[in-house]
Amino acid sequence: MMGKTMFRIALVAMMAAPAAGCAAAAVGAGAAAGIHLTSQGAEGMASESVSAVATRTRSVLAEEGITLRATENEEGGTEMEYRGSKGDMQVHVKLEGRDGGGTLVRTSARTGTASWDKDYARTLVQRITGG
């Protein structure tokens, strides 16, 4: 009888271990779940206003060695766009204020005519949003 009980305890423990691993993986994935890849780059949400995110965006672009070529302020300051370059890479960042608060950050990084660097775009979104 004692053998069956130990077997059942061992069986339950073995079944619970993968579930705990899945839960840990889900928590880890949740930390980066706010950043999504798009067909040409990445996007994510920042909780701050467009103005605050714009200030951080300029700092991040400068720290990354991206030379700004154009900056546009649209819709009365609720949308901002930055275009720049880093070597032969063209970088585009668009900030869009949301009615409920926060700012949508969209980035793309392109080398050549159609080679999109989504990993670098994701890095920019992470640095700009703090994600």
pLDDT tens string 45-73: 999 999 999 999 999 999 999 999 999 98
pTM: 0.73
pLDDT: is 7 or 102 the higher one? 102
pLDDT digits (tens, 9 = 90+) for 76-112: 778 999 999 999 999 999 999 998 889 999 999 999 8
pLDDT digits (tens, 9 = 90+) for 16-43: 444 444 433 333 333 344 899 999 999 9
What was the pLDDT predicted at 101? 87
Long-range contacts of 64-69 (CB under 8 A, 24+ apart): 64/124, 64/127, 66/91
Q: Of the candidates 45, 58, 62, 40, which has an alpha carbon nearest to the alpha carbon of residue 108?
A: 40
Please report how many Cα atoms fall inside a 13 Å half-sphere around the Cα of residue 72, on the Cβ side: 11
pLDDT: is 14 or 76 the higher one? 76
pLDDT at 8 over 70: no
